[in-house]
Amino acid sequence: MEKVKIVIAGPRGRMGKEAVYLTGRTDHFELVGVLDHKHEGKRLSELEDFNNPAYDVPMYTDIEKCLQEVKPDVLIDLTTPEFGMFHAKTALQYGVRPVVGTTGFTNENLKELEALCEEMDRGCIIAPNFALGAVLMMKFSKLAAKYFDDVEILELHHDRKLDAPSGTAVKTAELIAEVRKPKKQGHPEEKETIEGARGADFDGMRIHSIRLPGLIAHQQVMFGAEGETLTLKHDSYNRTSFMSGVRFAVDEVLKANVLIYGLENIME
């Protein structure tokens, strides 16, 4: 089996580092380079965390130079929304398929990437959550929303997260909105005595974002009806929880020629 050549953007980050290790333990993956805005010309294996021959690959600050020299099949991006978009666009322009875990992409970003995938006839996967359990939680939430109109989403993350609400919470709300009868929840005359007390409003349902050190990534979707509640809950306890989804996405993106936003669209 031919190996999948992979470039990782953001290899020193918390997610990026796990993705590097994933390539090291996956037989059919081969790391061929990394994009790191602080290290040009070094080898990744020179860095303390990557002291292993499997990671003896060049580090680049310039994405075009990187793609031209190491010619990957897939670019995995785990950086920031601004750079993630730039990396995904540039990769597609070079015929390289992006797998993006970076969150915070706007609808305009998604539309632009969708058009670029079509133009270049290449797939791109954007997965706000790579944890397969979290994807199932989203799918189950959509099923439950057919029967429960009242729902509140509570997402909990570590305090270094830049975007709120989380990509997973927004995606969950979007999936619920596809089947839920539109409804403004709570008392019609409810007033916030402190701004933000009721959380963000998405189509009348509320999303609450909690940020605390010690947390990784957690979400509860609470449905309420007469005399009962239903809570769907998912917890990622460490960042390796995301890696089975990264491996799945890399394998799937090779077969794709359109933009896929969310692993739920390709998980049966």
User: For residues 221 and 243, which CB has a smaller minimum distance to ligand NAP in the complex?
Assistant: 243
CB nearer ligand NAP, residue 74 or residue 180: 74
Residue from 21, 50, 130, 248 in contact with ligand NAP (CB under 6 A): 130
Give the end-to-end CA distance of the chain in Å, rounded to a whole number: 25
Cα-atom radius of gyration of the chain, to the nearest Å? 20
161 classed as catalytic: yes
Exactly one of 14, 25, 184, 211 binds ligand NAP (CB under 6 A); that residue is 14
Would you count residue 102 as binding ligand NAP (CB under 6 A)?
yes
Residue 21 makes contact with ligand NAP by CB under 6 A: no
State the minimum distance, in angstroms, from the CB of residue 266 to ligand NAP.
15
Query: Is residue 181 a contact residue for ligand NAP (CB under 6 A)?
Result: no
The catalytic position among 17, 39, 142, 157 is 157
Residue 187 falls in the annotated catalytic set: no
What are the residues whose beta carbons fall under 8 Å from the beta carbon of 51, sequence distance 6 or more? Answer: 45
109 binds ligand NAP (CB under 6 A): no
CB distance 142 to 265 below 8 Å: no
Residue 128 touches ligand NAP, criterion: CB under 6 A:
yes
Strands (DSSP E) contained in 78-192 are 97-100, 124-126, 150-157
Number of residues that bind ligand NAP (CB under 6 A): 27
Question: Taking CB under 6 A as the rule, does residue 262 contact ligand NAP?
Answer: no
In what side-by-side order are the strands of the sheet with 150-157?
Answer: 200-202, 205-211, 150-157, 217-225, 228-236
The phi and psi torsions of 58 (rounded to 5 degrees) equal: -70, 150
Q: Residues with Cβ < 8 Å from 53, sequence gap 6 or more?
A: 45
Is residue 38 part of the contact set for ligand NAP (CB under 6 A)? Answer: yes
Q: What does the alpha-carbon distance between residue 20 and residue 34 come to, in Å, rounded to a whole number?
A: 9
Which part of the chain contacts ligand NAP (CB under 6 A), choosing from 47-55, 79-87, 88-96, 136-144?
79-87
Burial grade of 30 (CB within 10 A; 0-12, 13-18, 19 or more):
middle
One residue of 20, 113, 127, 205 binding ligand NAP per CB under 6 A:
127
Output 180 or 218, the one with its CB closest to ligand NAP: 218
Nearer Cβ to ligand NAP, position 180 or 234?
Answer: 234
Q: How far is CA 53 from CA 7, 57, 126, 261, in A?
A: 16, 9, 30, 34
Binds ligand NAP by CB under 6 A, chosen from 3, 5, 12, 43: 12
Which residues of the chain form contacts with ligand NAP (CB under 6 A)?
Answer: 9-10, 12-16, 35-38, 78-80, 83, 101-104, 127-131, 161, 217, 242
